Amino acid sequence: MRRESHLPVLALALLIAPALLVGGSALATTLVADGSSPVTGSVTGPTVVGTGSSDTYQVSGWGGPAVAANVTLVGNLTYYATLVGPNVTGAAFTPTSAHIPSNRSLAATLTPGNATETLSIDIEISSVYQGKNESTNVSISVTVVRPYVISATIVNPTNATVTAFAVYVILDGAVIGQVNVSSLAPRGSSEVTFDYPTLGLATGSHTFALSLVQEHGLVTFANGQLVYSVTVYVTGPAPSYTLWYIAGIAAFLVAIFILLTRVAARRRGAARR
């Protein structure tokens, strides 16, 4: 029997094998690139702001082609912002676009203008690398209201500079914020103002106060006191008379029905006579 040599086939296989290995490696790399994590993101910040204010929001984004398999930023990760509302004149969200850094987040500012309305901050987060582009959209709804405003003048009655301190803001006995004062010169004065945006306080009296108690007399308000307060009264909604209107109409219809029934009965009685 004739034996066929397999040496040429073996040699060919040895030549092809490295190419197959290289090809398998490239395929794996492609799969990792194509299988990158999806683009995710968020925009966070206050959902109720006051007219004329300036408020900070955090825009976050990650994933997509711009992020390598080893979780490093290799491409461009960018957000694009659009402010939507009934009246965006004088309102702005800045910057309107920016590159998101490797720490995955950056700050932006909303200035809502002077209109009371509901705004929507719409964010597109785009991830781009080597011709590949993926994106996602996130948004936050913000209600713009007329804030309660409390302000007062503080004075330094001493001959020494008072360094940084805080003026605490209190509503109905609970601390709701603070105003930071960097310093106050000897015999100097400064006006502090605090805006409190809210969707509404309960009906009745409410007391806002500014407190310097923690400063132990180093600074006071213009009247020499350590606490300045003001009381506001919130009226309730107008009463609804809808139910009474419905009840009145129903009673009127019943009375008409009874009257017509009686008139018809009298007519039938007269006809029988």
Judged by DSSP in three states, 29 sits in helix
Distance (Å, rounded) from C-alpha 62 to C-alpha 72? Answer: 10
> Cα–Cα distance between 129 and 222 in angstroms, integer?
61
If one counts every other C-beta atom within 10 angstroms of the C-beta of residue 2, the result is 3
Which residues lie below 8 Å from residue 210, measured CB to CB, with a gap of 6+?
A: 150, 152, 167, 168, 169, 170, 179, 192, 194, 221, 227, 228, 229
Q: Please give the Cα distance from 140 to 42 (Å, whole number).
A: 9
**pLDDT given for residue 235 in this prediction:** 86
Domains, the chain, with CATH or none: 40-145 (2.60.40.10), 148-234 (2.60.40.10)
- In tens digits, the chain (273 residues) has pLDDT values of 444 444 443 343 334 444 333 333 333 233 334 446 999 999 999 999 999 999 999 999 999 999 999 999 999 999 999 999 999 999 999 999 999 999 999 999 999 999 999 999 999 999 999 999 999 999 999 999 999 999 999 999 999 999 999 999 999 999 999 999 999 999 999 999 999 999 989 999 999 999 999 988 899 999 999 999 999 998 866 555 555 556 667 777 777 777 777 766 666 666 655
User: How many Cβ atoms from other residues are within 10 Å of residue 113's Cβ?
Assistant: 20
What tokens does 91 get? 């309102």
